[in-house]
Structure 1
Amino acid sequence: MDKRMILHEKKKTSLSDKIFIVLNTVFMILFVVITLYPVLNTLVLAFNNGTDSLRGGLYLWPRKWTLKNFNTVLHKNNLLIGAYITVLRTVFGTLTALAANALLAYIVSRKRFLFKKELSLFWVITMYVNGGMIPTFLLYKGLGLTNSFMVYIIPGMIGAFYMLVIRTYMGGIPDSLEESAQLDGAGEMTIFIRIISPLCKPVYATVALFIAVGHWNSWFDAMLYNRMSTSLTTLQYELMKLLSSVMNQSTSIQAMKDSATAVTPTSVRAAATILTMLPIVSLYPFLQRYFVAGLTIGGVKE
């Protein structure tokens, strides 16, 4: 009897596992479709004729192939300069911000550091309260940051959220590693660079990607602080101006039909979206394996 009951339980468990696998597979397929469809639809709009797109009915394949949307974006004045400045600020800004946040997080994560809880609370408050746009602009102008490349770098060097994530991750590293290094005569910078930082690669990679995405997508600071300097424009700001100019053009269907080079704001926006997302999306496969170890550990432990 006992053996029969055990076999019966195994069959029940096996059946429930199969049902779970089927339902989980269906759910994940639907989730992937829902996630990828907006990107695929944007890609279709980018390669489809702008006038034809107004008819609707485009889903996963272009109806009238064209490269005019991409030509409109790529022939924008100052686009190459904006791309160069954007790449430069993304690389330089990410490295400096990661170094600054990591160093500050290491200091605050040390148990012997006084007032670390009070300072952490102060940094949390800065995540929700700021001085406002006009006082910030006047401050940057007084510091000589307007009409300069450093306005992209210096204000974003310290981010309270990134610092707290790194600090929490460092707090989970055993103190015995630091103590053994101190017994061997290692100083604070040696411990930070050679002991702590190699163990923090997951959270460093995660935070670096978030910072890089922020720099790459930023355009408002270029409009606000470097509006008069074409040599310091950014790619996103130039694309924003392009979309604004297209939106201001006549949107008459007949006028667009009569024009051989007519494009619509929707098609141009789709092409601009595809062009700007490719560099960042290409980084995800290389950094994805760090996400779970980086944010989960850094966000759960105290």
Structure 2
Amino acid sequence: MKPTLGENIAQTLIVIFITLLCVVTIYPFIHLASVSLSSPAEASRFGFHLYPKDIDLTAWNQVVSQKKIWIGFGNSVFRTVVGTFLTLIAMSLCAYPLSRKYLPHRSFYTMVILFTMFFGGGIVPTYLLIKWLGLMNSVWVYILPGIVPTFSMLVLRNFFMSIPAELEESAKIDGANDIRILFGIVLPLSKPVLATLALWTAVGHWNAWFDAVLYISDQSKQVLQFFLREIVITNADAETLGRSAIANVRYEASIKAATVMFAVLPILIVYPFLQKYFVKGTMIGSLKG
């Protein structure tokens, strides 16, 4: 059928809205990339920066030559990779039994877990618990306290519930136990939702910094976002990058922009490889409750 006038207007408005949304989302990255590659005079110029008119790599050289930045980068990579992997394993081991109808008191266990998503002890009790567990100044404090995010686990549980029970029954007839069924049948069928949850978890780990402030005092165990915060927000450039890095204050804006881009690029590179699973995994995981 030929679209009506109202449908054409609605379609046009949707396209305009999506275009504006893309511009608003993408422009900050273009601006920061341009400023980070610009000369001091161009970087300090007020207004839009769509491309570097006077390319100067001094800011990037200062950032990538600093040992602390690479220490933070390594800790962030460890936290993101190991944390994401362990979270997926822990969520799967928790979500699979909760998705089986024959689990006794399944609804009660689900409600208890759901309760933790809305209510928490607060910063002080959590700090005391972390201290009592001996996780202070340990890289495992980045991973273990939040190893099973409640919302993501419930999404995974809902996906597992949508898998036909006949697959499990046939596997049990062939002699497979629950562990074999989970890792040999269920998880291979769950790649879209696992990729989506992996992206959520990885982004959360990569961007996290508050736990590093609370629980880590050893500079060799700090994450990249901690140093990024020191440079961009608290203006501790001299202490974080070294005084030689800002001997000329003209490069301050370029150094901050380069540091932000350095912290953002890894996730921007990884995202396209998981994006194709994102919508599919999110929709499938929310079909059944």
TM over 0.5: yes
Farther off after superposition, 93-102 or 80-89: 80-89
- The answer to whether the 8 A contact 1:47-1:65 is kept is yes
Matched, 1:270 2:257: yes
* Correspondence for 2:72: 82
- Are 1:118 and 2:105 an aligned pair? no
Q: How does 1:173-212 map to 2 (within 5 A)?
A: 173-212=163-202
Q: Please state if 1:140 is matched with 2:130.
A: yes
Instruction: State yes or no: 1:66 paired with 2:66.
Output: no
User: In structure 1, how many angstroms separate the alpha carbons of the residues matched to 2:124 and 2:186?
Assistant: 40
Amino acid at match of 2:228: L
- Percent identical among aligned pairs is 40
Rounded to whole Å, the distance in 2 between the matches of 1:242 and 1:20 is 45
For the 8 Å contact 2:228–2:260, the answer to whether it is kept is no
Kindly state the Cα deviation for residue 154 of structure 1 after the two structures are TM-superposed: 1.1
Q: Judge conservation of contact 1:109–1:167 (CA < 8 Å) in 2.
A: yes
Q: Kindly provide the CA deviation profile for residues 247-285 of structure 1, in whole angstroms up to 9, marking residues without a partner as x.
A: 688xxxxxxxxx745333x54432222111111111111
The reply on whether 1:290 has 2:277 as its aligned counterpart is: yes
Residue of structure 2 aligned with 1:32, choices 22, 25, 48: 22
Alignment of 1:246 with 2:235, yes or no, is yes
Q: How far apart in 2 are the matches of 1:121 and 1:145?
A: 28
Note if contact 1:44-1:59 (Cα within 8 Å) is conserved in structure 2.
yes
> Counterpart in 2 of 1:128?
118
Q: Render the CA deviation track for 1:176-228: whole Å, top value 9, x for unaligned.
A: 1111111111100011011111111001001011111111111221221111x
* Corresponding residue of 2:286: 299
- Equivalenced residue count is 281
Q: Secondary structure at the match of 1:127?
A: helix
The residue that corresponds to 1:56 in the other structure is 46
Aligned to 1:7: none
The structure that has the greater radius of gyration is 1
Residues 1:122 and 1:49: Cα distance change in structure 2 (over 3 Å) = farther
SS of structure 2 residue aligned to 1:147: coil
TM-score (norm 1): 0.84
RMSD: 2.4
For structure 1, the residue ranges without an aligned partner over 5 or more in a row are 1-9, 250-258
In structure 2, the residue corresponding to 1:138 is in which secondary structure? helix
Contact 2:155 2:286 in 1 (8 A): yes
Contact 1:44 1:58 in 2 (8 A): no
Matched with 2:216 is: 226
With structure 2 as the length reference, what TM-score do the two structures score? Answer: 0.87
Task: Note the C-alpha offset of 1:68.
Answer: 3.3
Q: 1:237 aligns with which of 223, 226, 251?
A: 226
SS for the counterpart of 1:141 is helix
Shift, 1:290, TM fit? 0.7
Tell me, yes or no, if the aligned pair for 1:100 and 1:157 is still in contact at 8 Å: yes
